[in-house]
Amino acid sequence: MTDDHLPLPLRYLLAARRSELRGLEELARTCELVGVTSQLVHALQKERGYANLYLGQPHTPLLNTLNGLTDAAQAHETHVRHCLQHVDPAAEHGPDQARLLSRVADVLYRLDELPRLRRRIRDQGVDGDSATQSFTRLIAALLSLVFEAADTALDPELTRTLVALFNLLQGKELSGQERACGTAGFSAGYFTDAQKAQLRHLGDAQERCFAVFAQHAGDDVLRAWTPIAADQSRVQPLRDIAWRTSPAQPVDPGLAQTWFDLLTERIDAMKTVDNLLVQTLLQRSQARLVQTRRELENHRVLSRRLAEQVDEPDLPRVFSLQEHVLDAAPQDGVGSQMARSLLDLVQTQAQRLQQVSHELDEARSSLAERKTVEQAKAWLIRHLRMTEAAAHERLQQAAMQSGRRLADVAQEILTEARKQR
C-alpha cells in the first residue's frame, strides 16, 4: 500500500525516513568498498617493499616472491573494481558524493598505469625511488577513498569507525614509507641528512595518526592494538642507529634486511587490527540498515494509525502525549487515543536529527582539522618550494611558538593566502 492517502505532513515525515534509508544503503556500499580497498592497500604495500628490494639486488628468489605478491595484489584489485561497478557514473549523486567520485576517477587512472610500472620493475627500467613513489601515489589515492567515505558518512557511529580506520591505514602507510626509507639508508651504509629528516617526519606523523585512531576506536580494537603499540620499542633502537650514521661512520649494510623484516612484521601485525576494524564497520553498517528499515516500517504503521484517528481532517492534529519509545505501538493497541501526536512526531524527529548532526560534527572534527593542515602544507610546498616534511615542521614550530593548535595555525595561513589572491 502506498502512503498517498496519508495527510501531507505525515508523508513528508516518511519521505525523510526513506531518504535516511537511501543514504545508509549508499553508505553500506561505500563501507564494502572501504573494506576491499584496505585489502588492496596492504597488498600494494607488500609489493612495493619487495619491488624496492628487487631493484636494489635483482635475483631470482626475490623475483619469485615479487611475482607472488603481484598476483595477490591483482586479485584484490579485481575486488575493488567489482565494487566500483556499483558506483554508476551516469546515476544521480548528491553533492556530498562529488569528492568521493573524483577520488574514484583518480584511483582508476592510477590502477590502469600499474601494469606498465610492473613491467619496468622487472626490466630494471626504473630506480627504487621512482618505483616507490609510483606505488605511494596509488596508495595515497586509495586512502583518499577512505577519507572521503569518512567525511561524507551520515551515521555518527559509522563515521567514528571510518575515522579510526582511515588513521590506522594512514599510519600503516607511513610505516611502509619508513620501511622503504630505512631500507635504502641501511643498504647504503649511512643516511643522508634528507633521509634522517624523512625518518623523523615519518615517525612523528605515525604517532599523530595512531593517536587519532585510538581516540575513535572501540575497546575491542584497542585491546588488539596494545601489543603493537608496545612493540614500538623494537623499532626505536634502529632509528637511533640510523640518525647517528654518516659517510665517516657507516654501518653494516646487512642491517637493511633486519630493518625490513622488523618493519614488515610490525605492518603485518597492524593489518590484523585493520581487519578487525573493517569487520566492525561492515557489521555496524548492516545492523544500522536493518534497524532503519524496521524504524521506517514502524513509522509508517504509526502514521497510518494516526491518520485513521483523525475524523475531522481540518482540525489540528494534536493528541495526548505519552512518554515511551517513538516507534513502539501503544500498550492498548490503536485504542481511542493515539500514543503520539503529529506534533510530537515532528519534534522527536527534529531532535533526533539535531543530535545526529551534533555527533557527526564531533566525529568529523579530526578529519576537518587534518584537511586544513594538509591544505596549508600544500600551499607552503607550492609557494615556498618546501618539502612536505619541512612544511609540516614550519607549521609545528609556529604552533609551539604561539601556543596554538596546529589546525589554527594552518587556518591562519590559508586565510592569508586567500587575501593574496
DSSP symbols for 220-253: HHHHHHHHHHHTHHHHHHHHHHHHH-BTTB---T
If you write DSSP's letter for every residue of 29-40 in order, what string do you get? HHHHHHHHHHHH
Q: Do residues 345 and 13 make contact, with C-beta atoms less than 8 angstroms apart?
A: yes
Instruction: Kindly list the distances between the CA atom of residue 310 and the CA atoms of 7, 74, 304, 343, in Å, as whole numbers in the listed order.
Output: 10, 62, 10, 14
Q: Tell whether the model's pLDDT for residue 66 goes beyond 50.
A: yes
The pLDDT assigned to 343 comes to 60
Q: Do residues 339 and 301 make contact, with C-beta atoms less than 8 angstroms apart?
A: no
* Residue of 418, 405, 414, 419 whose CA lies nearest to 378: 414
* Residue of 68, 39, 36, 75 whose CA lies nearest to 51: 68
Q: Tell whether the model's pLDDT for residue 333 goes beyond 50.
A: no
The pLDDT assigned to 346 comes to 63
- Average pLDDT, integer, range 310-326: 42
Q: Considering only 37-41, 43-47, 329-333, which range has the smallest mean pLDDT?
A: 329-333
- Average pLDDT, integer, range 8-14: 76
Q: Considering only 114-128, 321-335, 381-395, which range has the smallest mean pLDDT?
A: 321-335
Instruction: Determine the Cα–Cα distance for residues 394 and 113; give it in Å rounded to an integer.
Output: 34
The pLDDT assigned to 316 comes to 45
- Tens digit of pLDDT for each residue in 198-240? 999 999 899 999 999 999 999 999 999 999 988 888 899 999 9
The CA-to-CA distance between both ends of the chain, in Å, stands at 58
Give the 3-state DSSP-derived string for 140-176, with helices as H, strands as E and coil as C: HHHHHHHHHHHHHCCCHHHHHHHHHHHHHHHHHHHHH
Cell digits of residue 149: 567515505
The pLDDT assigned to 114 comes to 96
Instruction: Determine the Cα–Cα distance for residues 171 and 163; give it in Å rounded to an integer.
Output: 12
Q: Tell whether the model's pLDDT for residue 328 goes beyond 90.
A: no
| C-alpha torsion 26→30→36→41, nearest 10 | 170
Q: Do residues 313 and 306 make contact, with C-beta atoms less than 8 angstroms apart?
A: no
**Of 315 and 273, the one with more pLDDT:** 273
- Tens digit of pLDDT for each residue in 136-194? 999 999 999 888 888 878 788 888 999 999 999 999 999 999 999 999 899 999 999 99
pTM (2 d.p.): 0.80
- Tens digit of pLDDT for each residue in 43-57? 999 999 999 889 888
The pLDDT assigned to 300 comes to 76
The pLDDT assigned to 324 comes to 39
Cell digits of residue 8: 501531507
Instruction: Determine the Cα–Cα distance for residues 13 and 349; give it in Å rounded to an integer.
Output: 8
- Tens digit of pLDDT for each residue in 275-315? 999 999 999 999 988 888 888 887 777 777 766 665 444 44
Instruction: Determine the Cα–Cα distance for residues 72 and 146; give it in Å rounded to an integer.
Output: 21
Q: Tell whether the model's pLDDT for residue 342 goes beyond 80.
A: no
Main-chain phi, psi angles of 310, to 5 degrees:
-90, 100
Helices then strands, counting H and E runs in the chain, come out as 12, 0
Confidence class for position 321, pLDDT limits 50, 70, 90: very low
> 119 Cβ partners below 8 Å, 6+ apart?
125
Q: Tell whether the model's pLDDT for residue 126 goes beyond 70.
A: yes
The pLDDT assigned to 347 comes to 67
The pLDDT assigned to 421 comes to 66
- Average pLDDT, integer, range 119-133: 92
